[in-house]
Structure 1
Amino acid sequence: MTTDPQGQAFPELACYGLAGHSASPADLLDEVRLAEDLGLGAVFLSERFNVKDAGVLAGAAVAASSRIGIGTAATNHNTRHPLVTATMATTLHRMSGGRYAFGLGRGFDLLFDVMGLPRVTGAQLEDAVGIYRRLWHGEAFGHSGPAGDYPYLSQDPSFDEDVPVLMMAIGPKSLELAGRVADGVVLHTFLSDETLARSVATVRRAAEEAGRDPASIRVWSVLATVEDSIPEEQRLRKLVGRLATYLQGYGEVLVRANDWDLAALQRFREDPLLQGYPGALDAIGTTDELTYLRDRVLPAEWLAASATGSATQCAQRVVDQLAAGADSVILHGATPTELAPVVEAYGGLRPDLPALPVNPGWTR
C-alpha cells in the first residue's frame, strides 16, 4: 500500500474515536491502533461530560499511536480556564510530535444554562483563540475581552508552538468566523452535497477577505457512514437515531443550513413519539421507534445526506464529498472495525489528491 510521507495511506480520511455514546473509554486504545493500521489520517475525539474528557482521551490516543493525527472536535473554551486549556494543547502537541490539532465548538446553550456557564458567542471564540495563540508563542500578558478578564497569563517564555486550531461550524456566521481565524474547519453531519459546497465556499471567501490564503484552511466534511454489514438495529441507531437526536437538540440550525423544509421539522417535533421523550434517540430509541421515524416522519432527503449501502456505495459517497470541495472527510458514527470494508473499497476509487499531513489542522 502506498503511503504518504507521514506514513498513512489515506491522510484525507478520519474517524471518530468512541463514536456516539460509550461507557468504556478504554475501547479507544484499540480503535486508534486499528484506525492507524487501516491507514486513516486522523482520529477525532468529541467531548461529553461523562467518561469522554477531551484531554484524557487525546492523551490516550497519542500514547496508543505513532503516526495517526489526533484532533479534539470539540471542546468548549468556557469549561476550562484558558491557561488550563492552553496547557492541555501544548502538552498534547509535544507529546504527539506535532500530530495534535485543538478543536473548539459553540456547544449547547441549554446545557451551559443549567451548568451556570455563559453561553458561547463568536466574539468569545475569536478572543479565546487569540489568547491560546499568544500563550503558545511565549507571551506573558494581562487580558480583558469577550472571553474573560485575566490579570496575568503566561505559560513559558521559551514557547514557540504552532498548534493548529480547528473550529466546528454549521451556520454562515460560524463558517465565516472559522475562515477568519481557524486553521481547519469541521463541518456538521447530514449536510447535503450542495450545502457542503456552499459551506466550503463561505469558509474560503471569509479567509480571503481576512487576508489569508483560502487554500490554507483545511475543511473536513463529516459523513455519517453506515455500511450494510452493520446489524440493522445499529444501522438505525447510527443513521435515524443520530439525525433525530440532532433535530431534538438544534434542529432549526441544521434544517436552515440545508434549506430543508421547516414545516417538516415542526411535524417531527409535534409527533406524539417526541412528546416528552425521555432522552436522546440515538441512545435509547428502540428499533420500532427508529423504524417509525424513518418510514413515517423523517423526509428521505434528510437521511440521504449520508453514506449507506454497500462498501463501494459508501466509498463513492466519500469521493462525492471531495468532489464537492472538502479537503478531507470524517467517516462519522462507525468504529474502525465497521469502517474497514469502506476504507478498502475507497482505496480502489480514490481520486488523485494533493499530499496532506496527518495533523488534521494543517494543509501542508
Structure 2
Amino acid sequence: MSEEAGARALFDKFGTYILPGRVNDPRRGIEEAIEAERIGLGCVWISERYALKEPAVLAGAVSEATSKIRITGTFYATMRHPLVTASVANMMQAMSGDRFRLMFARAVPAYMKMLGAPAVTMERLADAISIIRRLWAGETVNYEGILGKFPAIKLTDKHDGSTPPIIFTAIGPKSLEFAGTHCDGVLLHPFVSPDGVRNSTRIVRDAAEKAGRDPMSVRIYHNIIVAPDLPPEEEAAVVRGRAITYFELPGFGDMIVDINGWDKAVLDQIRAHPQIASLNGKPADQAYTRQELVEVGKILPQKWIDEGAAVGTAAQCADQLMTYLDAGADEILLHGSSPKDMGPLVGELKRALAAKGL
C-alpha cells in the first residue's frame, strides 16, 4: 500500500512538544508521544523544568513507548557534569535505536542565579559541547578550564551507533552565530516571524561557512505556537497568554522584536502592566498560568499574532506553517496544542505539503 500524500514530509518536517508548560502528571507525556507518533509527526520535544519534567527520565520512557519518532531532550549545560550529559545521550541512542537529539538551552540568567548555578555562557557551552563530542568519540578527556577540572573522564561503554545531533536554542545574532559555528542545528524561538526566520537562517549559515563548515549541514528548527480550531478563550491563553511569558523578559523579548523588525514600544507597555511590574524581575512563567496572563496579552498587536503564530482554522494554520518552511525552516516544532487535538491540523498539513510537492 502506497504512503499517503504528504505523510513522509509530515514525518520529516513536523514534531511537537509533549508536556508543554507546568506539569502535574508526567505520565501524560508518554500518552502524548504515542499519539504524536500515531498521527504521523516525526519528533517529540521535551523541555526541562525541575520537579515533574526531567528530560533524561521522560526521554527514556518515551523511547520504550514508541518505535520510530525522534526524541529531542533539552538540557541546561551547567546543571550537569559533562560526563553525565554525554552518558545520558549515549544511553538514549542505545535505548531508542539512534532516535535521540540533544538540545542545549541557555535559560533566563536570573533563573540560573536563583538556582545558584553558573550562567550558561557561550564559553561554557562551547567547552561543554567539545568535551561531550570527545567523549562520544571514545577519548579520555583531560580538561581544566571554565567548567572545572576533569583529570580523566571517559565513557567506559560507548554506543556503537550514530552520535546525537546537538541543537542550540537561539534568538539573538550572537547565539545564532554560535549555533552556526558549533552545533548541528538551531531551534528558533516562538514568535519569530517568516522574515525573522530568513534573517536568522542567514546569520546561522554565514557563521557556519566562516567556520569552514557546510552551511546546509546546520538544520533550522522553528518553534511555533499553534492554536487550530480553539474556542476564543482557550486560544487567548494558548497564544497571547503564552506570548507574554516571552515578551516580558528583558533581553528575550527585545531580541524577538529585533529579529522581526517589530515596534519595541509594545514591550514597554507589557512590562508596565501591573501584573508584570509587580513581579520585580521574577519570570511571569514562574508566577502565573497562561490563563492568568490573557488580560496582559491583549496589549499584543494583531500583526504579531498573525506573523508569529499559527492561529485560526486547521487549514489556515497549515497554510501559515508553510510560510515558515518557505522562509528557511527545515523542521517545525508545533507548540501550544496537545497531539490529541492535532488530528485535523495534521490532515491539513499533509494536504499543504503534498500541494508543494513535498
Instruction: Give your verdict on TM over 0.5.
Output: yes
Query: Whole-Å Cα distance in 1 between the matches of residues 44 and 313 of structure 2?
Result: 23
Structure 1 spans left out of the alignment, 5+ residues: 354-364
- CA displacement 1:209-238 (0-9 Å, x = unmatched): 11111111111111110012x233321111
List aligned pairs for 1:99-114, cutoff 5 A: 99-114=99-114
Deviation at 1:157, TM superposition (A): 6.9
Aligned counterpart, 1:339? 342
CA contact (8 A) 2:226 2:309 kept: yes
Deviation at 1:80, TM superposition (A): 0.6
Query: Whole-Å Cα distance in 2 between the matches of residues 174 and 138 of structure 1?
Result: 28
Identity of aligned residues (%): 36
Aligned counterpart, 2:88? 88
Aligned counterpart, 1:265? 267
- CA displacement 1:160-192 (0-9 Å, x = unmatched): 652211111111111111111111111100001
- Confirm or deny that 1:255 pairs with 2:242: no
Aligned counterpart, 2:72? 71
Aligned counterpart, 1:237? 237
Deviation at 1:159, TM superposition (A): 5.6
Counterpart code for 2:176? L
Query: Whole-Å Cα distance in 2 between the matches of residues 186 and 282 of structure 1?
Result: 25
Alpha carbons of structure 1 residues 168 and 106: separation in structure 2 relative to 1, 3 Å: same
- Confirm or deny that 1:284 pairs with 2:285: no
TM-score normalised by structure 1 residue count: 0.90
List aligned pairs for 1:82-161, cutoff 5 A: 82-156=82-156, 161=162
Deviation at 1:3, TM superposition (A): 7.0
Aligned counterpart, 2:61? 60
CA contact (8 A) 1:224 1:306 kept: yes
- Confirm or deny that 1:321 pairs with 2:321: no
3-state DSSP of counterpart to 1:128: helix
Counterpart code for 1:242? R
Alpha carbons of structure 1 residues 9 and 109: separation in structure 2 relative to 1, 3 Å: closer
Query: Whole-Å Cα distance in 1 between the matches of residues 168 and 36 of structure 2?
Result: 23
Query: Whole-Å Cα distance in 2 between the matches of residues 325 and 169 of structure 1?
Result: 15
Shifted more, 126-135 versus 201-210: the winner is 201-210
Counterpart code for 1:219? I
Alpha carbons of structure 1 residues 139 and 15: separation in structure 2 relative to 1, 3 Å: same
Deviation at 1:255, TM superposition (A): 2.3
3-state DSSP of counterpart to 1:60: helix
Query: Whole-Å Cα distance in 1 between the matches of residues 287 and 313 of structure 2?
Result: 22
Shifted more, 115-124 versus 258-267: the winner is 258-267
- CA displacement 1:69-109 (0-9 Å, x = unmatched): 0011x211100111111110101011111010111011111
Query: Whole-Å Cα distance in 1 between the matches of residues 159 and 239 of structure 2?
Result: 44
Deviation at 1:141, TM superposition (A): 2.1
Counterpart code for 2:344? P
TM-score normalised by structure 2 residue count: 0.91
3-state DSSP of counterpart to 1:111: helix
Query: Whole-Å Cα distance in 1 between the matches of residues 274 and 99 of structure 2?
Result: 47
Deviation at 1:65, TM superposition (A): 0.3
Query: Whole-Å Cα distance in 1 between the matches of residues 4 and 208 of structure 2?
Result: 31
Query: Whole-Å Cα distance in 2 between the matches of residues 109 and 273 of structure 1?
Result: 21
Query: Whole-Å Cα distance in 2 between the matches of residues 207 and 192 of structure 1?
Result: 22
Counterpart code for 1:191? V
- How many residue pairs are counted as aligned between the two chains? 347
Shifted more, 244-253 versus 113-122: the winner is 244-253
Deviation at 1:114, TM superposition (A): 1.4
CA contact (8 A) 2:168 2:186 kept: yes
Deviation at 1:260, TM superposition (A): 2.1
Alpha carbons of structure 1 residues 286 and 322: separation in structure 2 relative to 1, 3 Å: closer
3-state DSSP of counterpart to 1:10: helix
Aligned counterpart, 1:309? 312
